[in-house]
Structure 1
């Protein structure tokens, strides 16, 4: 879980740097898959990076998918906590 969060965070930062420099970008699908990755998921790392780097804040479909991923991960973690 820590690796997924760290990778999501770093990829968002890397993508922001490439965006500012006008270079080829990381696919949104890749960013979302890293947010989804790991036992509890990398969504917290993705949200932290979005806030810190002010990246991917205006793209509504992307933001919607990220929130759906976070909600699904929260439900899974809540289910595990109840066991």
Structure 2
């Protein structure tokens, strides 16, 4: 049971970071400042932050015109959920 709570905390932190990075990148876009590289968002999605990234995309209306994000991030949500369920049953 302790492993499950550790994974849950990890995923919670990853998703909060994803949400925050979407917020920061949107601010930087408005200011025409140096932006967060897209590969950072993809890495975070792979590492479990896809739900936070998706909520950030919708909340801040950021990267919603990029097909790779509007299709890819939901796919990573599915992959992350399946992976988390797998961890619960196999650990």
Indicate the structure with greater helix content. 2
> In the TM superposition, what is the alpha-carbon distance from 1:54 to its structure 2 partner?
0.7
Please say if residues 28 and 62 of structure 1, whose CA atoms lie closer than 8 Å, have aligned partners that are also in contact: no
Unpaired stretches in structure 1, ≥5 consecutive residues: none
Identify the match of residue 16 of structure 2 among 6, 27, 32. 6
> In the TM superposition, what is the alpha-carbon distance from 1:31 to its structure 2 partner?
1.0
- State the match for 1:19 in structure 2: 29
The alignment yields a C-alpha RMSD, in angstroms, of 1.5
* TM-score normalized with structure 1 length: 0.82
* TM-score normalized with structure 2 length: 0.76
Unpaired stretches in structure 2, ≥5 consecutive residues: 1-10
Rg comparison, structure with higher value: 2
How many residue pairs end up in the alignment?
A: 80
